[in-house]
Structure 1
């Protein structure tokens, strides 16, 4: 029995001068659109208690492209710009659901330089990848094969601080389920000592709760010490000793169970 999952395959590539220029412009436009949309949504909430969604920011993007100051946004592929708005919508959804902090503005120096292309903005043919606004395919170093018959649904291009270029292809992949062996799997945990593959949990020994309280106090004490000081070195040793004590007691308890 097998199941289909989404997997990202990341590869190094070497763009031509024209491709590097086009991608750098796209990165800048993606960052600008994200920040402008974030500013618009923030002002709408702080001034009018109004929540702006993806559709509203998409309409704003269309209006921005028609202005003289932002007409250059039309010179790059529109798909990465729309994807930036979708990512912002996801960030707000997580924020309102209290799963994440409020979205922050992207920095030219600190934020990741990337652009995401959906299927309408790239061509995948005979193992060659060509992005929108480009005439030549990317020179990708295929360090490993894609799954048989795989076709990317999303392509993300990025450039790190060292100037290395990467492309990540999101594809469907089939994972075969391993046959049952009749054995019981064991997983060591934090809330419980052991969790069996049958769902049964073996609780931690009683003394471990006291050890963990001592560990928490020692870690707080370590955090208060001045860096590179002798007291901090002593506090670090104390934390390591408690960690070792917990590990030893767990091991002894497991020997008794077996």
Structure 2
């Protein structure tokens, strides 16, 4: 099975390369905003938008008007035009909101270029990128497959990263006999029908006081000053550490489940609705259930596993998985254990829900 997989590495450009990277950020941002404005004007006048082809044919004309566009990677500028067209395609399919103008004040900046004639290459601990040449990078993971594109990104903590998208062939894992149901929660992150429990690490809660301290310091400092910038960078580093810890936990957990189980049953969660609960919203956002489901979905597709989903309105917590009797009083989240009055089975709330998810998922 041929899939597209991204490999993310941290890069260490020198001062000249950093300046050129920032220049490419600005040029790609200018091209994106220019064609977004043209698209909006065309739609307001004619009721129809533009497509990629007419915008791409206008790009050489734009370069003649602004000579500084010729100094950067031409493929990156074409990718910016492509991003305008793709964003409107997703908007009309109701997959996202209407595209907005890019700002140089946004904490994360990026541009994308494509592989042509060996302009992207890896040699030991050195990486070659178009217009930038060779630079040192953290070769933390072996690159596999054929390189298709590269996205250079500067995050809020002023670190530079590159994501290399490659065409990789995935081989299904050997068959496994296990079939489990998984109930996600906040008290414990996941409870399996096999009896295995995964603790909820609550990464945001671990750093919440430290984050609040630095946010108070930021609020007291003069906006735009050197101390204000230091505090802002420190806050960005804390957020980055939280995100990296959470992502590491989710990847290890989903990989373990995919390796050990042939069929995995989960519950369909409407996280966007659940996160509106003012008492639980912060904990639900910290749990990142949507990212967990996303990782489990693509890994199951890659490695030949079956992912089954139970409906949102199935009474998985209230129903006894032994006799099938429904107990509405179990809706109360404070009830962690209960006994079925029909068959007398004593249930752990989450393990019973995991068993029901395993039975009703399709």
Bin the TM-score by the shorter chain. 0.7 to 0.9
The runs of 5 or more residues in structure 2 that have no matched partner are 180-262, 270-305, 320-325, 338-347
Q: Which moved more, 1:173-182 or 1:73-82?
A: 173-182
| Cross-structure match for 1:81 | 77
Pair 1:164 & 2:242 matched: no
C-alpha contact (below 8 Å) 1:124/1:151 kept by paired residues: no
CA gap 1:101/1:17 in 2 versus in 1, 3 angstroms: same
Displacement of 1:73: 0.8
* Superimposed CA distance per residue, residues 64-100 of structure 1 (whole angstroms, 9 cap, x where no aligned partner): 1111xx2211111111110011111111001112222
| Cross-structure match for 2:93 | 97
Alpha-carbon RMSD: 3.5
Pair 1:140 & 2:251 matched: no
| Alignment equivalent of 1:124, drawn from 102, 121, 126 | 121
DSSP-derived class of the 1:8 partner: strand
CA distance in 1 between partners of 2:309 and 2:98 (Å): 39
CA distance in 1 between partners of 2:43 and 2:87 (Å): 15
C-alpha contact (below 8 Å) 1:114/1:157 kept by paired residues: yes
| Cross-structure match for 2:169 | 174
| Cross-structure match for 1:58 | 56
Identify the structure with bigger relative contact order (alpha carbons < 8 Å, sequence gap 6+): 1
TM-score after normalising by structure 2: 0.53
CA gap 1:249/1:154 in 2 versus in 1, 3 angstroms: same
The runs of 5 or more residues in structure 1 that have no matched partner are 192-196, 216-241
C-alpha contact (below 8 Å) 1:152/1:171 kept by paired residues: yes
CA distance in 2 between partners of 1:254 and 1:166 (Å): 39
| Cross-structure match for 1:19 | 17
TM-score after normalising by structure 1: 0.72
Displacement of 1:186: 4.3
DSSP-derived class of the 2:49 partner: coil
Question: What is the total number of aligned residue pairs between the two structures?
Answer: 220
DSSP-derived class of the 2:10 partner: strand
Q: Which moved more, 1:79-88 or 1:179-188?
A: 179-188
CA distance in 2 between partners of 1:250 and 1:125 (Å): 48
* Superimposed CA distance per residue, residues 78-135 of structure 1 (whole angstroms, 9 cap, x where no aligned partner): 111100111111110011122221111111112631111101272315454322223x
DSSP-derived class of the 2:143 partner: coil
